[in-house]
Homo-oligomer: A and B are copies of this chain.
Amino acid sequence: MNERPVATLAAELIGSLHAIVGRLEAALEPEGLSLAKFNVLRMLVAAGEPLPLGALAERSACVRSNITQLVDRLESEKLVVRADDPHDRRSIRAELTAEGRRRHAAGVRAIEAAERELFAGLPPKERESLLHLLRALQSPP
């Protein structure tokens, strides 16, 4: 007779996850970064080379126009530059600047500290469980 728990669960999940995002965002803020901007820098560092905007959109699981604007902002802060792709004149690649690398490094430090603090109260075994449970939610059998 109790239809409520499911709804309560969803609301709480969203609330908890929202709080986590907020903490990470707060950790990045002193470095002048947002999670969105940091993620773009992170992908560029991981790739080790300039990436076409479409690739960034794909890896971020977001729409292309979002990346256009995100890169606009990053470029206006001189963290990346837009560079032509010599092999495809439609394509534009985002390339890290030296300052972009520095900010990324600062971001990594900030976010790792925040994550250690965030997960400090959760033993590794329980972290595993949490991961499994969340994954179970995403792939309905």
Residues of A near any B CB (own CB < 8 A): 3, 5-7, 9-10, 12-21, 24, 35, 61, 111-112, 115-122, 124, 126-127, 129-131, 133-141
| Chain B contacts for A122, CB-based, 8 A | 133, 136-137
| Chain B contacts for A21, CB-based, 8 A | 14, 17
Contact check, B134 vs A12: say whether CB atoms are below 8 A apart: yes
- Alpha-carbon distance A21/B133, docked complex (angstroms): 16
Contacts A17-B14, A17-B21; is A133 near B129 (CB within 8 Å)? yes
A103 to chain B, nearest CB (A): 17
Q: How many copies does the complex hold?
A: 2
Contact check, B19 vs A17: say whether CB atoms are below 8 A apart: no
Top 8 nearest A-B pairs (CB, nearest first) are: A17-B17, A16-B134, A130-B133, A6-B115, A121-B140, A10-B115, A121-B141, A19-B138
